[in-house]
Amino acid sequence: MEDRIIEKDFGDLAVNMGPQHPSTHGVFRLKLYLQGERINKIESFLGYLHRGVEKLSEKLTYDQLPPVLERDDYLSPTSNSLGFINAVEKICEIEVSRKSSYIRVLVAELQRISSHLVALGTYGLDLGGALGGGASLFLYCFREREKILDVMEDLTGTRFHTNMNQIGGVRYDVKTESINKIRKLVKELRPVLEDYANMISKDEIFMKRTQNIGIISKELAEESGGSGPIVRGSGINFDVRKNKPYECYSEFDFNIPLGTNGDAYDRTIVRMKENIESLRIVEQIIEGIPSGDIHSRKPLKSPKLTRPPKGSSYFSIESPRGELGFFIVSDGTAIPYRMKIRAPSFSNLSLVEKLLPGTFIADSVVILGSLDPVFGDVDR
């Protein structure tokens, strides 16, 4: 009787990826069902960073909330407070000056560039051997980001959570010295950002790792409620700044970069091209910033004096990750009755359960990184 080796099919092997895994940011768990290295099915688990900010809003006044909300999407803090204060100003029918609107957009666009630099730099680490061993690109991107944080410190006294936006205006004015520093920053950043875009778009290893990986069709993007670079990488021309202009965006000349294939490669290239367009907006702001007041309301002796009328309002803005919306219900008191945040990272992250099955383990970090989720934005 001859010896024979019989290979039995024991089914899928379940492996937990995260929440400790670096590519899941330490706060996101994927349960992968594997056949060899191929992913057959996944389950995702959220909530490791949930802080209950929407429930917390029922205990704080309207003027106390903007700094708290800046901790949600912590890579672009100003976007969070910008969406909220616009929702409050809409229900209160508060007009803001052109100058304060210019300053709001200035800070928001600088933080958009900063956020996209973090996305690219950490993507280099996710990809490992691509892009100069990963760490090189990471350090380059953070070097340029530090220059933006220096400008933020000059403008507001803080490098990260600026607390610039207030209901009715902004907290700080822009000095002539600051404008000169921003002008110098734009001059330094433009060739560097163009180099980064050219470098990754032509890097052979990067192209092989990302092209035709994690393809999101237009139909899937629309069905999932995706937004931002995720849908623009699939060729959907939607940007809140253009389609539903807010603040003073209608006054500026800028383009909306689009992809064609909807893969991880296109999503990364769209972000890099958006950096160049954000620089164009910043240039137009510093060359044409109007004079006038930076606040349309008189100083408040108590935060409880802001009392919107009974009703509700929804307002959305374009954060670096997509459409960030705030739905507020007011009962006429100084504290919101209810608040719901439409977080772009949450909608975009829902795509992983559609994208990962059929790919390999090595592709999972490529796809997840290309979605650029911020888990403070996801879990709130």
Average pLDDT, integer, range 289-302: 78
Give the pLDDT of residue 88: 92
User: What is the average pLDDT value for the chain, to the nearest integer?
Assistant: 86
Q: Is the pLDDT of residue 137 over 60?
A: yes
Q: Which of 1-10, 25-34, 276-285, 353-362 has the highest mean pLDDT?
A: 276-285
pLDDT band at residue 108 using 50, 70 and 90 as cut-offs: very high
Q: What is the pLDDT of residues 261-275, one digit of tens each?
A: 989 999 999 999 999
- Which CATH architecture fits 49-379? Orthogonal Bundle (1.10)
- DSSP per position, 261-328: S-SHHHHHHHHHHHHHHHHHHHHHHHHHPPPS-SBSSPPPS-GGG--PPSEEEEEEEEETTEEEEEEE
Give the pLDDT of residue 3: 63
Give the pLDDT of residue 302: 62
Q: What is the pLDDT of residues 181-232, one digit of tens each?
A: 999 999 999 999 888 888 888 888 888 888 898 899 988 888 888 888 999 9
pLDDT band at residue 8 using 50, 70 and 90 as cut-offs: low
Give the pLDDT of residue 303: 63
- pTM equals 0.90
Give the pLDDT of residue 232: 92
| Sequence spans of domains, the chain | 49-379
Closest CA to 379 of 52, 17, 37: 52
Q: What is the pLDDT of residues 323-365, one digit of tens each?
A: 999 999 999 898 999 999 999 988 888 888 888 888 888 888 8
Give the pLDDT of residue 112: 93
Give the pLDDT of residue 282: 93
Give the pLDDT of residue 284: 92
Give the pLDDT of residue 10: 60
Task: Name the residue type at position 172.
Answer: Y
Dist CA 290 CA 100 (whole Å): 9
